[in-house]
Amino acid sequence: MTMTDTKTVPTFGYELIRDHVLSTILGKHESDILYWSGKELARKFQMFSMEETTSFFQEAGWGELTLERLTKNEAFYKLTGEPDLLQIEKRCFRIEAGFLAQQQQKLGGFLTECFEEKDLKKNVIQFHVKWDLKEKI
């Protein structure tokens, strides 16, 4: 195998784990646990800039992440991708939200949270990352 070869996981296998096994195991706590799992992933896969999260999302198979707007204490991202891969209508996107929150918190040094909103008509997930400039970490 050369350095340019890439390993891929079949979409079906990914869907089995993400959409069926995890939701069954986590039950009614799925949303909260996935958010904290995303934060833990961000601790293990630390980025040196928020721009790096774009390529991380692609490599993880999470979709195309785009920064839409940035202010002094918040950022707005858009996640897009093929409808069959995103499964926006049935999937929880809290792991991605937790990942973004923790990356921003580590890089910015302020307490950070992230909220996601689905736009089913446009097949887009909007992430609102907000940090508290009064809460230094």
Using the predicted structure, report yes or no on whether residue 3 has a pLDDT greater than 60: no
pTM of the model: 0.88
Query: Can you tell me whether residue 116 is helix, strand or coil?
Result: strand
Cα–Cα distance for residue pair 83/80, rounded to 1 Å: 8
- In terms of C-beta density within 10 A (0-12 exposed, 13-18 middle, 19 or more buried), how is residue 119 classed? exposed
The 10s digit of each residue's pLDDT in 35-66 is 999 999 999 999 999 999 999 999 998 999 99
The 10s digit of each residue's pLDDT in 63-79 is 999 999 999 999 999 99
Cα–Cα distance for residue pair 73/52, rounded to 1 Å: 19
Q: What is the pLDDT of residue 2?
A: 46
